[in-house]
Structure 1
Amino acid sequence: MLVNESKRKVWHGRVELADTFFKRFKGLMLVRNVNYALVFVLPAETRVNASIHMFFMLSDIDVIWLDSSCRVVDFKTARKWRVYAPKKAAKYIIEGPVGMIRTLEIGEGDLISWSLSEEKEKAIPVKISLPEKLSFESSNGVTMAESVSKLKTKKA
């Protein structure tokens, strides 16, 4: 979720962080349907570090540049196959779907905050005990049991 603290406007989309070199390098390139925001944490607050390219982008995006105090220094809808640099030095860049700027009613000097979307935990394989006649260790990969009722009555 992104919040324009100055105007009390909220964008209720998913927000992810690009805080490593590889995540910043990939950004939103080759993403077909940009339906989330990506917050870039830059190593230094400069105009050069905050410049972006739209090469290999499959759609236009909204871009918001913030200084180290999270105040908007520039914003625009970025078009495919172009290069952009903010008017002033920036420490953070927020890239997201077109319409995000309008929803947040962004203006220069606005204070922006965000809360990251929770990552879903990955599944962890767990061993469980099975009834005697049921096994996943067959030679052909297919498991058969005589019948569910026999398994239930045998256990009871």
Structure 2
Amino acid sequence: MLINKTKGKVWTGRVKIADTFFKRFRGLMLTPNVNYALVFILPSETRLNASIHMFFMLQSIDVIFLDSSREVVDLKRARPWRFYVPKGGAKYIIETPVGVIDYLNAEIGDEIDWEVEEERSAIPSPVEALNKIGIKNSNGTISLAEPKPKLKGE
């Protein structure tokens, strides 16, 4: 979810984080239907390194550039096959579906925050699966092995 703290507006869509070089490199390129926001966390606040390209994008997006205090320094409706440089230095870039800037009523100087929903895997881990079906032995631990038989004299 994206929150315009200045105006009290909330966009309840899904938010993902691009905090590594490869996640930032991939961005939303070749994404057929942008239906979530992607927050880019840059190593430092800068103007030129916060520039974005729209090469290999299949649709337009809204882009919000934020400084290190998460205040808006620039807003763009970015179209495919273009290049954009923010008006001021940015530490965070939020790429969203078209219309989110209008929905948040975002303007330069507004404080924008986000909450990332924890993504759940479609395939549970083995421990999660065993916990759900309640396979436990007498001492409370999970074991797939048969219990060790007791020998005479034990």
Please tell me the residue identity of whatever aligns with 2:19.
D
In structure 1, C-alpha distance between the alignment counterparts of 2:12 and 2:103, rounded to whole Å: 10
Deviations 1:33-89 (A, max 9, x none): 000000000011111110000000011000000000000000011000000000000
Over the matched positions of the two proteins, sequence identity in percent amounts to: 64
Match of 1:68 in 2: 68
Match of 1:110 in 2: 110
Stretches of structure 1 lacking an aligned partner (at least 5 in a row)? 130-156
Matched, 1:119 2:119: yes
Normalised by the size of structure 1, how large is the TM-score?
0.79
Match of 1:16 in 2: 16
Matched, 1:89 2:96: no
In structure 2, C-alpha distance between the alignment counterparts of 1:21 and 1:52, rounded to whole Å: 14
The count of corresponding residues between Structure 1 and Structure 2 is 129
In structure 2, C-alpha distance between the alignment counterparts of 1:103 and 1:49, rounded to whole Å: 27
Normalised by the size of structure 2, how large is the TM-score?
0.80
**For 1:21-36, what aligned pairs fall within 5 Å after superposition?**
21-36=21-36
SS of the residue 2:48 aligns to: coil
Deviations 1:96-117 (A, max 9, x none): 1000000000100000010002
Structure 1 vs Structure 2 CA RMSD: 1.5
Matched, 1:53 2:30: no
SS of the residue 2:110 aligns to: coil
